[in-house]
Amino acid sequence: MEVSRRRILQKHLEPARPLRRCIHIDMEPQINAATCAQALMEEVDQETDISIEQFYKIVNLQKHNEGRISYTRDFLIGLASCPEARKKPEFLPEHPIVLTEARDPGDLRLHEMGGGKEEMAAVRLHSP
C-alpha cells in the first residue's frame, strides 16, 4: 500500500524532481516494502549518500514545493543547447565580460569529466 501511494506522489511531481533519479515505475507489484526501501536507498546512495530518513524528508519537503515551478539540474542543462537558449539576448550591454558569441554549453561539463574528478579528490585530500 505504502509503495503504491509513493508512486502516485512521484507522478504528481512531474516535472519537479529534486532527486535526480526517482523510483522506477515498472516494479513488480508483489515486491514488499522492505525490498522496495532497499532499492530506494541504493538509488539514492549512488548520487548523494543520504539516508532513508533524509530521503523521506526531501519527499515531504517536495510537497511544500507544490505549485512552485521547479526544475532539476539535468532538465535545465538539457535546455541549454536548444536554439532558443543560444540566441544573443536582445539587450546586452557592451562589457569585457560579455561575449559576442555564445560559449559552448558543454565546455564546462566536458572539462568536468576530464579534470573535475581529480580536482574534487584533491579537495578531499587537502581537507583534514
- Return residues touching other proteins (CB under 8 A): 16, 18, 48, 50, 61-62, 64-65, 68-73, 75-77, 79-80, 82, 84-89, 91-93, 95, 97-103, 105, 108, 112, 116, 119-120, 122-124, 126-128
As measured in angstroms, the least distance from the Cβ of 121 to other proteins is 9
As measured in angstroms, the least distance from the Cβ of 33 to other proteins is 25
As measured in angstroms, the least distance from the Cβ of 36 to other proteins is 23
Give the residue carrying C-alpha cell 530506494.
40
**Amino acid letter for position 31:** I
For 95, phi and psi rounded to 5 degrees?
A: -160, 150
- How many CA atoms are closer than 13 Å to the CA of 89, on its beta-carbon side? 6
- How many CA atoms are closer than 13 Å to the CA of 87, on its beta-carbon side? 6
Q: Which is nearer to other proteins, 35 or 116 (CB)?
A: 116
With 0-12 / 13-18 / 19 or more C-beta atoms within 10 angstroms meaning exposed / middle / buried, residue 44 is buried
Q: Which is nearer to other proteins, 5 or 95 (CB)?
A: 95
As measured in angstroms, the least distance from the Cβ of 4 to other proteins is 25
Element (H, E) at 119: helix 117-126
Q: Which is nearer to other proteins, 33 or 99 (CB)?
A: 99
